[in-house]
Amino acid sequence: MNVGEQLRTRVLAREWLAGTFINLGSSITAEIAGRCGFDWLLLDYEHGPGSDESLLHQLQAIRGTTAAAVVRIAANEAPRFKRVLDLGADGVMVPYVNTAAEAIAAVAASRFPPHGVRGVSKFNRAAGFGQGFEDYYANAHHRVTLMAQIETPEAVSNVEAIAAVDGVDVLFLGPLDLSTNLGIQSNFTHPLFVEAQQRVAVACREAGKAGGILLANAGQIPLARDLGYTVIALGSDGGAVSSGLREYARLLKSPATS
């Protein structure tokens, strides 16, 4: 069982899967994170600064570790799926999935015919540059994990229908976007946010899908676990580097250490 198939199997079994966001576009931090024991890493190509070339280097770096690589694309557009999947992503995270129709389109874009509309090419990294094409073409539809992000009130109102779409494996709640779109930016204890968080968790459980969420701090882990979220990301490489360097600077400038 390859890394991608293993990830999807564990996702659908609703195992606890620990991840983090990789948003610096760096193959070095991607490789470091992959060696830290995470089950999956999210390469952020919605908001991150990376290019196709840096994504390739990150995917190559991660493949030498035990982590699976999921890429967040910038929009729910078929060419974007094709690009990152051909480069060898184990999964795709799709931002702003608001309706079942949009979820269906995302599934189709992530799968080859007859299962979807993904363009076919033999000579790419995912297919072993042609050497593994037949196997990849025959099995990619059940090896690629699809994560649909729930980030708006519209998405929350349609969450049960989105969860029911075959091929959507994870409903991944985006806390900052969702709270912003609810008019309560970063207020994760507000009743509106709590209700939405609970509704997403219930929809996932009833549909046999996994619930995912990005957490801002370790204090949010117990609630996420209690609600039934299982695909969990905590922080990012950028956040870790920034907080670590700020702490070094603080220690060096502190009167107590000078």
Any idea what DSSP says for residue 38? -
Query: Binning pLDDT at 50, 70 and 90, where does residue 255 land?
Result: confident
Domain boundary assignment for the chain: 3-257
pLDDT at 256: 72
Active site residues: 47
Counts for the chain of helices (H) and strands (E), in that order: 12, 8
Please check whether residue 229 is in contact with residue 212, taking contact to mean a CB–CB distance below 8 angstroms.
Answer: yes
Query: Binning pLDDT at 50, 70 and 90, where does residue 1 land?
Result: confident
* CA–CA distance, 224 with 210 (Å, rounded to integer): 12
* For residues 41-61, average pLDDT: 96
* pLDDT exceeds cutoff 70 at 258: no
SS3 state of residue 30: helix
- CATH level 3 topology of 3-257: TIM Barrel (3.20.20)
* pLDDT exceeds cutoff 90 at 257: no
